[in-house]
Amino acid sequence: MFSNSSILIVDDDPFARGIIKHHLNRLGVRYISEAGDGTQAIETLRTARMDLVIADRYMPKMNGLELFCHLQANPNTQDIPFIMITMEDCEIKIKDAQELGIKHYLVKPFGADMFDSKIKQVLLSTQENIA
């Protein structure tokens, strides 16, 4: 279903990136890029178009919130769907992210069903907007 989707995983924890990559592979995603922080993600996005960015909230150099704001400020990247991932299940922090414009949030640890549901929701809504 998502075999032609290009997804960028941004997380400073290689183990966490591996888990997310595993879940994406289960969904049939073949084009997966990885970055260890927001600055690496920006470098990747300068040369590659992504259908989705999945980013951890807390990372060194440039965190997920800063990355999202940077992407929103750039006309070339402002339309890329964005999912924020964090271990912090704090209503205030989630609301802060939503006020910045982040619509999709996953709290770790998440199960396969929850992850699959969120990815399908975001990618299918994006495909519907293009069609």
3-state DSSP call for residue 24?
helix
Q: How far apart are CA 2 and CA 39, in angstroms?
A: 26
Is the predicted pLDDT of residue 130 greater than 50, yes or no? no
- If pLDDT is split at 50, 70 and 90, which confidence band does 49 have? very high
pLDDT tens-digit series, residues 6-44: 999 999 999 999 999 999 999 999 999 999 999 999 999
Q: What angle do CA 105, 110, 116 make, to 5 degrees?
A: 75
Q: Which of 97, 90, 44 is nearest to 66 (CA)?
A: 97
How much is the pTM? 0.92
**What is the pLDDT confidence band of residue 127, given thresholds at 50, 70 and 90?**
low
CA-to-CA distance for 13 and 16, rounded, in angstroms? Answer: 5
Q: Note whether 41 and 15 are within 8 A (CB).
A: no
Fold of 6-125: Rossmann fold (3.40.50)
Contact 44, 17 (CB under 8 A): no
